[in-house]
Amino acid sequence: MDKQELKKEVDSRRTFAIISHPDAGKTTITEQLLLFGGAIRQAGTVKGKKTGNFAKSDWMEIEKQRGISVTSSVMQFDYDGKRVNILDTPGHEDFSEDTYRTLMAVDSAVMVIDSAKGIEAQTKKLFKVVKQRGIPIFTFINKMDRDGREPLDLLEELEDLLDIESYPMNWPIGMGRGLEGIYDIHNERVELAHPENYDGKRFLTLDKSGNIADEHPLKQNSIYQQAVEDVELLQEAGDDFDLEKVEEGNQTPVFFGSALTNFGVQTFLEAFLEYAPAPQAHKTQDDKKVDPYEEEFSGFVFKIQANMNPAHRDRIAFLRICSGTFTRGMEVTLERTAKKMKLSNVTQFMADARQNIQEAVAGDIIGIYDTGNYQVGDTLYEGKLGIAYEELPSFTPELFMQVNAKNVMKQKSFYKGIQQLVQEGAIQLYQTYLTDDYIIGAVGQLQFEVFQYRMKNEYNSEVVMKPLGHKIARWIDPKDLDKNMHSSRNILAKDRFGQPLFLFENEFAMRWFADKYPNVELKSLL
Ligand code: GDP
């Protein structure tokens, strides 16, 4: 591929993640997007859980039991000259640090909100990580075919809770059974939800005053008149659309629709593809940036999925390509070890199959079969590029377990396993400050199960885990440390770099501590 071709290919990429609270409709909207892209032929194929379509997958046992599918971790399709990569961010119990890390590998995010529920806990958590990265965030307010909350209310909540400006690209005309359509501010038209109730025309043009140009029965409908009034109000009092702010993640374009009835999804997709960025330059550890059009291949590993099948110890390392072209069989350098690696067994993930690929470019995600060479955060590069990409952040764990080896005679394999899994980024490790007991921390329950399973299968170490439950982890400056600060409502611990932290029982315990020691700064990770 020559430089010009590479640029054209890279510019066509749109790599993003959908973030939402469970049940807001992420799967449903993903399926609609894949249907538009022709990547699947029927709805219901994304989650194995629902259809059993992935039953033949020989992937990890836990994956099968829980219906998580590696094939749905990355989905790719083409639409309107763009190549779209959607990265999945699992919800529910499958939530893990990988979910957060996936957000390090995208160029933008789409936030799906249930119109009856507004901003929910998990959306807020994921939003925080996206916001911190400063990448564009698009909002889709879903389930407009049901009675939900007032749209103005929802925008206000979004701005207040997430501290971001919002700009409605369109505005609902009614909701629930009374949903007539959307007033499409961006495209200056009205899109009807039920054109069959009128003359079959789906799109109605607007005149200069912002009203439906031709005669139409909807013009007499008070629901429509209300929407026009709302839009006028928003245009007077609200913020203007500002692409620069969108690109910096300081303004979110908001769309309304219904994924289930496939209303407003295509309109959303088209505007999203217009404004979402192509792959951007990526930062290195020495604060330089690598251009995606740089001809030499480079990328970083953001997630490792272990194979839980004892007969296949292999894993898949997910790599985000940051520059150049991947070609099958190419030789690259693994920066951490300076070892040369040949990339021959590599897959790209399609919606309904894992395929062996020949070529991919910056913006794409590839899955490298791994026999234990890679760690989360690793950089791979071609030729003399000689770079290390920015380290991935660590995330404040929320769940904790005390762990021990079941068999005291097998301490050695226990320590080895823990050290390796911690290094790989599968789990976080702490020790109590005074007694050196092992505590592991995670952001999701699944991480513990995977940890226990892999300790047994890969390191032949059975572990006993005692749940400590939810805790709030806060780091303090070692010079502030006084062992008397330790109480029954917190656990004093140290992380694997020896830094002191407290695991507080709850918000109350943390506030009590903060009041008692006002000069001690409590710090969290991301
Ligand atoms: P996820 O957990 O975010 O992936 O949510 P799903 O896509 O699995 O949707 C959760 C439930 O909401 C399912 O029963 C969907 O059929 C339903 N749902 C999704 N989108 C809509 C919508 O636009 N309208 C209505 N009424 N239901 C929806």
The residue whose CA is least distant from atom 26 of ligand 1 is 143
- State which amino acid sits at residue 517: Y
**Three-class DSSP category at 236:** helix
28 C-beta closer than 6 A to ligand 1:
yes
pLDDT at 446: 85
Q: Which residue has the tokens 């590599």?
A: 346
Rg for the chain (alpha carbons), in Å?
25
pLDDT at 94: 73
46 C-beta closer than 6 A to ligand 1:
no
The residue whose CA is least distant from atom 24 of ligand 1 is 143
Q: At what angle do helices 151-162 and 121-133 cross, to 10 degrees?
A: 60
Q: Long-range CB contacts (< 8 A, 24+ apart) of 118-121?
A: 118/149, 118/153, 118/154, 118/157, 118/158, 119/157, 119/158, 119/161, 119/162, 120/21, 120/24, 121/21
216 marked as binding residue: no
Task: Determine the residue of 18, 20, 21, 23 to mutate for testing ligand 1's pocket, defined as the one with the most ligand atoms within 8 A of the Cβ atom.
Answer: 23
pLDDT at 65: 47
- State which amino acid sits at residue 83: R
Question: Cα–chain-centroid distance for residue 90?
Answer: 8
Q: What distance in angstroms lies between residue 85's CA and the mean position of ligand 1's atoms?
A: 21
> Residue 433 contacts by C-beta under 8 Å, 6 or more apart in sequence?
483, 486, 492, 493, 494, 500
pLDDT at 410: 85
26 marked as binding residue: yes
pLDDT at 454: 86
Q: What are 295's two structure tokens?
A: 């001809």
258 C-beta closer than 6 A to ligand 1:
yes
145 C-beta closer than 6 A to ligand 1:
yes
Q: What distance in angstroms lies between residue 148's CA and the mean position of ligand 1's atoms?
A: 14
ipTM: 0.99
**Closest ligand 1 atom to Cα of 30:** 7
Per-residue pLDDT of the chain in tens (526 residues, 90 and over written 9): 899 999 999 999 999 999 999 899 998 999 899 888 876 655 555 554 443 333 323 334 444 444 444 445 788 888 999 999 999 887 776 788 888 999 999 999 999 999 999 999 889 999 999 999 999 999 999 999 999 999 999 999 999 999 999 999 999 999 999 999 999 999 999 999 999 999 999 999 999 999 999 999 999 999 999 999 999 999 998 899 999 999 999 999 999 999 999 999 999 999 999 999 999 999 999 999 999 999 999 999 999 887 655 566 667 889 999 999 999 889 999 999 999 999 987 776 544 444 445 579 999 999 888 888 899 999 999 999 999 999 998 889 999 999 999 988 888 999 999 998 998 888 999 999 989 999 999 998 888 988 998 899 889 999 999 999 899 999 999 999 988 888 889 999 999 999 999 999 999 999 999 999 999 999 998 7
Cβ(392)–Cβ(377) under 8 Å?
yes
**Closest ligand 1 atom to Cα of 20:** 3
* H/E element, 165: strand 165-168
143 C-beta closer than 6 A to ligand 1:
yes
The residue whose CA is least distant from atom 28 of ligand 1 is 260
108-114 and 137-142 strand pairing: parallel
486 marked as binding residue: no
26 C-beta closer than 6 A to ligand 1:
yes
91 marked as binding residue: yes
CA–CA dist 96, 395 (Å, integer): 10
96 marked as binding residue: no
The residue whose CA is least distant from atom 21 of ligand 1 is 260
Task: Determine the residue of 19, 20, 26, 28 to mutate for testing ligand 1's pocket, defined as the one with the most ligand atoms within 8 A of the Cβ atom.
Answer: 28
Q: What distance in angstroms lies between residue 114's CA and the mean position of ligand 1's atoms?
A: 9
The residue whose CA is least distant from atom 19 of ligand 1 is 25
pLDDT at 425: 85
24 marked as binding residue: yes
The residue whose CA is least distant from atom 25 of ligand 1 is 143
pLDDT at 526: 77
* H/E element, 465: strand 463-470
Q: What distance in angstroms lies between residue 129's CA and the mean position of ligand 1's atoms?
A: 24
The residue whose CA is least distant from atom 11 of ligand 1 is 23
260 C-beta closer than 6 A to ligand 1:
yes
21 C-beta closer than 6 A to ligand 1:
no
Q: Indicate the pTM of the whole model.
A: 0.90
pLDDT at 183: 97
Q: Which residue has the tokens 């009675």?
A: 147
Q: Which residue has the tokens 């190419």?
A: 330
